[in-house]
Structure 1
């Protein structure tokens, strides 16, 4: 890390906490680049601190990273140079024939991007409370110090965030129904059945397509249905789980990825579709190989 020296005991101690700090910041912000910036800022603050006044370095650093991350979330400064709709999501993709990804109920350090998708629906203070307490086991009293709340108030905040996370999780029993909705959409898109598409799409559905020429966002069932052939033609592939959601991945004849689609389904309707058809972006992803 810039500004550290191998022989510096404080730098060495900081490095021993670095992976955990990065994990905290990443789950708060959902961006590796932003997480690295937060960890670097934590190091700068530590380098200006009288370390003799720090009783618990790990706790102090976690608090600092939490506060910086909270400030970033509240200010909406994550990835400031890239519009939100133009940002390419970071995907965890598993073919349906392969072992299923970690269930969101496993709230430990191994929790992956599926949880981040749910955390995006939380307010900054809820996200901080949930991530620090339920994922990293930080006591409510320490979290309350970051939020300027009492331990009891922070505990209530965590409980509210936990309920939202559980409500947002896709029940395993509904997985087959969601995939049936996705299959119906793909069939209707491929065959150009406009009326059937309108029955499957939520009135306020959002369709984001990442192409070599840029990112295009379409809103509303009618407009998405008109453009749905993009998804239909791109989806002649293998069913997959993408960030815990139903998806489809397809490959070219040479085995390189051709397209990736992810769907969000709620109450029998598709509320969001993300399609990646940019070869350069697909090449950068850690996608499974074809059978």
Structure 2
């Protein structure tokens, strides 16, 4: 061991921690690309340090990744118009079949990504305290050093974040009732049954249409029902999928390229939110199953 190159040893430790560091950054930022950038920046900072002065390399790396991620989150807050795409979690889309044991990892990842949507509601300091402590078991004293706060203040941040998560998080998994509500909506859209559409839509339902020209939002059951032709196309050409653990529909063009991705949030037997991605460029970048 005495003949080993110290630089090689540091690189070896960094590589052994890369997956964990990437996971921390991803839970903080909700973007795989941003997480990769953060981890790369952490490596560049490490390469400029004298490793002999770092007593706990794993802790040092966690601190650096957390601080860089915190800076990115705070920058998003000051420039929200520039962070619309970057702030959205990636979609994990799988065919909605009865899960086999080998699908457990995919489903677990979907649930994890669904949590990112909830984390978007937290302030940067709350998000860091919650992510590091509750998801990665980092002691409050260390988190406090990263935030420049006392241990007690850091505990309060994490507690406040935990309450917000519990208040807003959606049930994981897709039950029979949720599937039936979505099927009823799609059938009504296909048949042009306006009254049935109103029955399955929450009065305050929100539709977000992600187009090449930007996001378009419609609020209210009447407006969403009136614009349900898009869903009618999906009902005819699409297949049931899970989108970040939520029920959805993926449809394709005749040449097999993706046409539309829909995801639905169902609460108390009614659809409260619909997200529709129709931007061909975004659909092309997603890892989507092909038509079967």
TM-score by shorter chain over 0.5: yes
TM-score, normalization: structure 2? 0.80
- Report the Cα offset of residue 105 of structure 1: 11
Counterpart-to-counterpart distance in 2, 1:200 and 1:247: 15
- Partner secondary structure for residue 137 of structure 1: coil
> Would you say the 8 A contact 1:263–1:272 is kept in 2?
yes
CA distance in 1, matches of 2:143, 2:45: 19
Whether 1:259 aligns to 2:250 is no
Matches within 5 A, 1:67-78: 67-76=67-76
Residue by residue, what CA displacement relative to the aligned partner does 1:198-222 show, whole Å, maximum 9, x if unpaired? Answer: 44434543323334x4334122114
Gaps of 5+ in 1: none
Matched with 1:151 is: 151
Q: CA deviation at 1:230?
A: 1.3
Higher helix share: 2
In the alignment, which residue of structure 1 is the partner of 2:275? Answer: 274
**2:63 is equivalent to residue 58 of structure 1:** no
Q: CA RMSD in A?
A: 3.5
Q: 1:142-183 deviations in whole A, cap 9, x for unaligned?
A: 112222333333334334433433444433697333333322
User: How does 1:103-252 map onto structure 2 within 5 Å?
Assistant: 112-171=112-171, 175-211=175-211, 213-221=212-220, 222-236=222-236, 237-252=238-253
Normalised by the length of structure 1, the TM-score is 0.80
Mapped partners of 1:165, 1:98: distance in 2: 28
- Counterparts in 2 of 1:200 and 1:81: CA distance versus 1, 3 Å: same
User: What's the offset of the Cα at 1:36?
Assistant: 2.2
Q: Which runs of 5+ in 2 are unaligned?
A: none
- Counterpart residue number, 1:25: 25
Q: Is the 8 A contact 1:130 1:161 kept in 2?
A: yes
1:253 Cα deviation after fit: 4.8
Q: 1:7 to 1:104 in 2, by over 3 A?
A: closer
CA deviation map 1:233-257 (0-9, x unaligned)? 2233222211011111234455543
